[in-house]
Structure 1
Amino acid sequence: MTPRAALVIVGAGPRGTGLLERVAANLPELYGDRPLDVHLVDPHPAGGGRIWRTGQSPLLWMNSQAEDVTMFTDETVEIAGPVRPGPTLAEWADLDGHTFPSRPQQGAYLRWVYEEARAALPASVTVHEHRTSAVRVSGPREGRQRVWLADRSTPLLADLVVLTIGHLDAEPGKDQRELADFAARHGLLHLPPDFTADTDLSAIPAGEPVLVRGFGLAFVDLMVLLTEGRGGRYENGEYVPSGKEPLLHVGSRRGVPYHSKIGYTLEGERPPLPRFFGPAEVDELLRRPGPADFRRDVLPLIDKELGWAHYHRLLTAHPERTAVDRSAFEEAYAAAAPGSAELAAVVAAAVPDPADRLDLDALDHPLDGVRFASGDALQDALRRHIGDDLERRHDPGHSPDLAVFGALLSVYGQLIRLGDTGDPDNWWHGFFSFLASGPPGPRLRQLLALSRAGIVRFLGAGTTVEADEERGVFRATSASVPGEWTEARALVEARLPDATVELTGSPLLRALHEEGARATDAGLLAVDPADGRILGQDGRPHPRRFALGPPTTARAGGAFTRPRTGGVAFRQNDATARTALAFLRDLSCPAPLSASA
């Protein structure tokens, strides 16, 4: 008797849920009514998973507006499978589309999507939920795989395994181990990189200085939980302390928070994208002998693509700030080589005010080379910087910024096709997050209020922390205020763990790498960009193992997809689901014996 085909999906959060939805959508065409077992492995509830679980503080928000979050395909998504529309988070929860929902609200939406995907499966498919972790996958390339679970001695047997495990914990690197040892010797507090919602913050003392490294979304969560989470409140734009707050001294490599979410919509004509970094350009890069060099071959194309979106919008919506006819500019811009002096000259001639030109380096490093006479002068300057950013990101007069956001999403979709060379040192992902995946505007207004109240103090760019053995404290300084030091008995690393395949806290991912799965220079698991199959050291895709999401080269540029934006994650999920179903179908339909057999 032929055993029932089995598909194991490790990770039942948003990515696993999205894959299950695509399996349900494609199953009638590719698999029919054949019996199938689907095993979902995750220690957290299916749908929201760990990050979006409903049992967390409602003070924590998404950094996306409710109308910008969907788990369903639409006609803009280029997929081979059927389009199955569904409600956005705003429509499902009956929320104002411009609000930033809480994470528990998003978790409830994801749970509903998961239940809808399960309900769409025919009776021939049985779904098994395993509330535990997968620790290892074994088995030959040509045969059934064994998925070993943390809470049972016998493995799950699988014809195919798909990893959709999302963000992961990590083992501490050498620098973090040294800081932890120093803290233990001197009775200090050191909190390593972690998911802020999972961190026990009760040991952080009230009224005492705390050094914080990291100025992204993990810091925003920390800020919320240590202020409103300890009983503080906002009144008329000012912060009223509870007296239980610590004093947060925050710095980072850039020294500034991520840019605010944009607070308006793009009206009128949109830049046609992709234009200078699209399928044709990626095809050309892939045809070249040897791997592409990101800085030399890819980044100039990205710069030109982002510039195209910016200047197209400027010439279309704000022509009074330009000095040439749009058609003449577009012709000259197209003819100039990416990254060339000729291209810079075309832009300079067309856009008289340098403030209207796109300067990616200045955006990426706003405090580079800027020095302040004192820490107080830095506070004033940073408050102006954040205020200016808030004003700009909510002013349609700067609508080229939103056009560039659209180009950033387009670029991310193309980079995935390049696989290992799409972002080898993780620079692009960091830049994208800084520019396009920042906090809601209200969070930055709260940050300003906390700064005025003295609860938050800025350290500046190029922040470094040293362990002072003689004094038994942590000391921080920055390039922004040379020679000024801040001492504290607590240090918090406000950033996600660096979960490379070498340092990942997932024994499953670590074992895959040790047994021959390839990793990029940035420590990501290398997968086939066509369908997510895991690549070996020899570059061959494994026929029975797939992986999608943040730990891999098949990650999308954002946690969730905006409606009507093409949906890179949707395309990946659909391609993986169709490849998996076709493989399982062929396994269950062996070729008939010949007459002479």
Structure 2
Amino acid sequence: MADLDLAIVGMGPRGLSVLERLVARLWEAQRGGPGGGPKVRVTVVEPEEPGAGRIWRTDQPEWLVMNTAAVEVSLYSGGPDEGPWRAGAGPSLHEWLCARAEELGEEPPSPNTYAPRRVYGTYLRDVFARIIGHLPPGVEVRSLQGRARELRRSTDGRYRLCVSNGVELTVDKVVLTTGHPRNRAEDADRDLLDFASRHPRTRYLRGDSAADMDLAGIEPGEPVAVLGLGLTFYDVAALLTTGRGGAFRPGPDGRLRYHPSGLEPRLYAGSRSGLPLPARGRNQKDALYRYQPRFFTSEALAEARKQAVSRSGNVQLRFREQVLPLMLREVDYVYRTTAVRVRDGRDAAAEFADRYAEAVAGGNPGALDKVLAEAGLADQPAIDLEAMARPFRGERFAGPDAFHDRLLEVLRADADAAELGNVDGPLKAALDILRDIRGLVREAVEFSSLHPDSHRDEFLAWFNPINTMVSAGPPVMRIQQTAALIEAGLLTVVGPGTRIGTDEDHGVFTLDSPQVADSRVTARVLVDARIPRPNVHIDSSPLTRQMIADGLATAHVNINARDGARFTTGALAVTGRPFRVVDAAGRPSRDLYALGIPTEEQRWFTQIGNGRPGPMAGFHADADAIAADALRQVTGQGPVAVPQPTVRPLSGTADAADAAPLPLAG
């Protein structure tokens, strides 16, 4: 009989990370305890592929690619050593790709390759296999293929878990890492479904992973309307172009040209911004590089909270007033210092960085203006994140051709900036800092750290879409491909402020932009290329519905005790680490945990499907917190002290020291 029975519900990257840390800790207990370690059984429940889950499953087409360079991705919480790959010691995605290439006698890939999603899924499955292939004595991992449908607490304090394959489990502890939801249709979504149901030749494909959309029935040349110009849009476009046999090839001027197969439909796409998600800068950062902020720091946030308490008697912050200025200062600082380094060299940039910081510390705007003028930067405007995310705001266009001319201008400028890199390109280096400081953003906004109104209106509704636009984009090739599709006449971007409508008389959907004359287009097929937001109140999962109905779990509500403001986020309510699920009475469970997407909007940016190589932080540290707490009764171990990441020079450049963006450690 096991000393401890655990279940992990959902075995995609988040569930895999919890399993990895559980087994790594059990190895530690095995080495440190007399007479061997505890007997532990872990049951993983996953309807798709264990390790890969649904989003990263291995039967996807090869033209669906990741949006993170392979060198920045690892599911192991520690790098490989002289032993076998196992929990706590294994390769990053890039190291794994190199090992695979060596076995096949192929050239190793670049560290900055963007792997196909199915290849990442194969890596995840390999991680899962390595973990369960190297278990400590007395530890068992069993895998059940099925969907968890019901979870109830028994009178003895244990949990009864019912799975769709008919299996029922009784376990001591449960970890929920269920990933991207499928939501019930509501409001406009339901109206579109109802419209499609009234017109037999009309189809509406709801928002989901593109690999799960039924695009096969779309005919060549058929008009297809697409809502959204984010990451899923790029996937939909790839499936309906490259996936139909077309090819991108460089033209005489070096720009990509699209060579159609003749099987493609005509795409008409639009969004609020009218801009396809801009590219990330070409990666120039080493796997172990960590940025050390100079202005947006934990100390600065603590001071902001102290000021909030003195003014309002409440620790909650206002995002625009107390958080955003610190973030923008960090972005501007990197933008300016990078420009000086690229132009004048590292020593000049270091001197400029110190003078910039001194001017800011003095609190006199004129002092900073003087520093910028002396550095020859007076005419370089500051980065305007909102203008970058909404570049067509206030503009009017005489027609689709005029808008496309302007759009192609923006896309080509973005591709050029991205090619300069996220170290040597001042713009993309600065925007990449928004990725590097995500941990501090979480510290500022998670777990009701913002006033409810600010959380809803300033952070989630206003800043979060802007941040996604400017810092979470695809590799630059997607921008180049989009421009090629527009030039080939297979893609029409309708324009900013895209409106969706229906025409009952003709049984078609309509799209148009109020800023582009004669932009109205019609289509019988509408694809929603927007990923649904997680919300426990509309999640179609029987498990989620049952847990909420029974009060075993509840939605997170951000409340300000001083003024009574409330914001129901729709996230599954959890405590801080180790992320215990909170029930309807507000009581944290001792033995039920949730991690990742179900907790999004109480937490932030939990949709990321990987950790980074190097010191354990963020993704891996979250998983470790659950593992430590879940195993405490059988191992006696506390949580691991997570080391602060250190700043390392970059590798893979002509002069690594000169390539690193300022500031550096110290």
TM-score by length of 2: 0.79
What is the aligned partner in structure 2 of residue 546 from structure 1? 593
* Unpaired stretches in structure 2, ≥5 consecutive residues: 80-85, 99-108, 251-255, 558-567, 638-666
- Range moving further from structure 2, 220-229 or 501-510: 501-510
Return the offset for 1:172.
1.6
What is the aligned partner in structure 1 of residue 544 from structure 2? 509
What is the aligned partner in structure 2 of residue 485 from structure 1? 520
Task: Find out whether 1:430 has 2:480 as its counterpart.
Answer: no
What is the aligned partner in structure 2 of residue 476 from structure 1? 511
Q: Deviations over 1:393-439 (max 9, x none)?
A: 11158533444355323432123344333684434543343222222
What is the aligned partner in structure 2 of residue 590 from structure 1? none
Q: Deviations over 1:350-397 (max 9, x none)?
A: 673554522222122222112211110111111111111011111158
Give the CA RMSD over aligned residues: 3.1
User: 1: CA distance between counterparts of 2:160 and 2:362?
Assistant: 55
User: 2: CA distance between counterparts of 1:317 and 1:447?
Assistant: 30
Secondary structure in 1 matching 2:598: coil
Matches within 5 A, 1:42-53: 42-53=46-57
Q: Deviations over 1:535-577 (max 9, x none)?
A: 3456543211111112214554733234348641011111111
Return the offset for 1:266.
5.1
Q: Which of 220, 238, 241 is 2:260 aligned to?
A: 241
Structure-2 change in CA distance of 1:251 and 1:406 (3 Å): closer
Matches within 5 A, 1:500-539: 500-514=535-549, 515=551, 516-520=553-557, 521-536=568-583, 539=586
User: 1: CA distance between counterparts of 2:465 and 2:493?
Assistant: 21
User: 2: CA distance between counterparts of 1:507 and 1:280?
Assistant: 43
Q: Deviations over 1:113-145 (max 9, x none)?
A: 112222332121111111001122221698212
Structure-2 change in CA distance of 1:325 and 1:68 (3 Å): closer
Task: Find out whether 1:150 has 2:169 as its counterpart.
Answer: no
Equivalent pair of 1:255/1:367 in contact (CA under 8 Å) = yes
User: 2: CA distance between counterparts of 1:84 and 1:335?
Assistant: 46
User: 2: CA distance between counterparts of 1:246 and 1:366?
Assistant: 28
User: 2: CA distance between counterparts of 1:194 and 1:48?
Assistant: 17
User: 1: CA distance between counterparts of 2:246 and 2:40?
Assistant: 53
What is the aligned partner in structure 2 of residue 298 from structure 1? 323
Matches within 5 A, 1:255-294: 255-265=274-284, 273-283=292-302, 288=309, 289-294=314-319
- Range moving further from structure 2, 464-473 or 385-394: 464-473
Task: Find out whether 1:125 has 2:139 as its counterpart.
Answer: yes
Task: Find out whether 1:23 has 2:58 as its counterpart.
Answer: no
What is the aligned partner in structure 1 of residue 90 from structure 2? 86
Structure-2 change in CA distance of 1:271 and 1:67 (3 Å): closer
User: 2: CA distance between counterparts of 1:530 and 1:127?
Assistant: 24
User: 2: CA distance between counterparts of 1:72 and 1:239?
Assistant: 39
* Unpaired stretches in structure 1, ≥5 consecutive residues: 76-81, 588-597
Equivalent pair of 2:432/2:471 in contact (CA under 8 Å) = no
Q: Which of 253, 260, 263 is 2:272 aligned to?
A: 253
What amino acid is aligned across from residue 327 of structure 1 in structure 2?
D
User: 2: CA distance between counterparts of 1:312 and 1:565?
Assistant: 27
Return the offset for 1:219.
0.8
Equivalent pair of 2:154/2:160 in contact (CA under 8 Å) = no
Runs of 4+ in 1 over 6 A off after TM superposition: 341-344
Equivalent pair of 2:158/2:172 in contact (CA under 8 Å) = yes
Structure-2 change in CA distance of 1:172 and 1:345 (3 Å): farther
Return the offset for 1:159.
1.4
Q: Which of 410, 413, 424 is 2:439 aligned to?
A: 413
Structure-2 change in CA distance of 1:543 and 1:314 (3 Å): farther
User: 2: CA distance between counterparts of 1:69 and 1:276?
Assistant: 27
What is the aligned partner in structure 2 of residue 65 from structure 1? 69
Aligned pair count? Answer: 574
Return the offset for 1:196.
0.8
What amino acid is aligned across from residue 622 of structure 2 in structure 1?
Q
What is the aligned partner in structure 2 of residue 595 from structure 1? none
User: 2: CA distance between counterparts of 1:399 and 1:199?
Assistant: 37
Q: Deviations over 1:225-279 (max 9, x none)?
A: 1112112223433222222211101111111111113214159xx9952333333
User: 2: CA distance between counterparts of 1:336 and 1:421?
Assistant: 30
Structure-2 change in CA distance of 1:415 and 1:328 (3 Å): closer
Identical columns (%): 33
Return the offset for 1:111.
1.1
User: 1: CA distance between counterparts of 2:155 and 2:441?
Assistant: 28
Matches within 5 A, 1:93-242: 93-94=97-98, 95-139=109-153, 143-152=157-166, 155-187=168-200, 188-236=202-250, 237-242=256-261
User: 1: CA distance between counterparts of 2:363 and 2:191?
Assistant: 50
Q: Which of 504, 523, 534 is 1:499 aligned to?
A: 534
